[in-house]
Structure 1
């Protein structure tokens, strides 16, 4: 598991020492620094991106809520505090957890684990977005095309034509095989001869599907049920 980077912020020294002790007991935690003065923490966080900040709320000059709101980027946040009146505000700020002192190690560790899991999930989503492409051979050359660039795929007997805004690729492959190979990428069949990415459908009507690119494709009668889950307006 990749380590999650953390800073601790609390104007009370014993609370900071407790955060240090607890973090040192968690193998996947990298505690970068701790601060008793929130204004110093703000200066540090404006220069260094961290995954998670664990902060008190009621602190002089700058409270934990204000500190989080002043940051241009939003690290994950756990409030570690005696205060209970900020719980609603914490919810509005998408705070990972709200720990009310005193906090035992098991409760603290669960909150950090929740933050770590959320961070890994976000990173996996970002990675998937960056790597969403397909590789195929056309005219004896291997091509890489990103999913967002694919307008539609048209089947022509033993061949398919993969259409992008700039180019068409003729591929020796049956439509049924293409659908099977890339079913996890959310392609949807709208006609016996056409498939598109679900995310590229703008609207559909009785006999046609309108794409976000502005193109219109035929809609086969037997494929309408596959579109019923889409919240799209009728175009016919």
Structure 2
């Protein structure tokens, strides 16, 4: 299956070059190509594509602002002649950042990265591994993507705009995604909110009291708002009771 994409650049010559590169990949399928970012925005509101290749500096709406304006943007590869935009782009979780003039080799490297991420997502979804705890997900830390397996995650802690993911091997991973967004994207059956600042792997909870939960040797606060839900879901469903 081909990967659907949208091409956006206010320079028609760049669009022609990208179209030529796409035709060489046999992997991508161009659904639409625009020189006007407002037209691209309108298209994305009513059409789905898997990846957006977008220029950064354009009149009326920059590529960065376009990505911010989309509630659920596709995978994004940004393109520009100005490297100073790279960090801001990576803070938006873009997949890659291509400096102009874009070589075929560098374009193909970005395509391979996109294909790898989509392939992993497809395998997790189709294999139903996500919901059994055997699946995995990617996060961005600094300038790289890191794969984490659900079964290895102990708990996730909110740190302002960042979250810290704690794994069973004692390592921690910082990512610029807030806890609410992470909770919405992780399988609800595997993780449970125990506090406004903590999301916990339900299978790793060792004990529950009125004020805390124990996870992998860590004592984490149990908020009053979440106590009843945690007790019902984690304890009561598997509690062995005294028989009368």
Normalization by structure 2: what TM-score?
A: 0.56
Measure the CA separation in 1 of the matches of 2:106 and 2:202. Answer: 40
Cα displacement string for residues 17-73 of structure 1 (whole angstroms, at most 9, x for unaligned residues) = 011000011111111110000000000001011110001000000000000111111
Q: Does the CA-based 8 Å contact 1:57-1:80 persist in structure 2?
A: yes
Task: Please state if 1:93 is matched with 2:92.
Answer: yes
Question: Shift of the alpha carbon at 1:84?
Answer: 1.3
Q: Gaps (5+ residues) in structure 2? A: 134-200, 221-244
Partner of 2:105: 106
> Partners in 2 of 1:231 and 1:62 — Cα distance?
49
TM-score (norm 1): 0.58
What do you get for the CA RMSD once the two structures are aligned? Answer: 2.6
Instruction: Name the counterpart of 1:47.
Output: 46
Answer yes or no: is the 8 Å Cα contact 1:16–1:34 preserved in 2. Answer: yes
Displaced runs of 4+ in structure 1, greater than 6 A?
none
Q: Is the 8 A contact 2:205 2:216 kept in 1?
A: no
The match for 2:17 is 18
What are structure 1's unaligned runs of at least 5 residues? 134-197, 204-209, 213-226
1:115 CA drift (Å): 0.8
Aligned to 2:58: 59
- Count of residues in correspondence between the two structures: 150
Structure-2 change in CA distance of 1:200 and 1:211 (3 Å): farther
Given the alignment, which residue of 202, 205, 210 partners 1:202? 205
Kindly name which structure, 1 or 2, has the bigger radius of gyration based on alpha carbons: 1
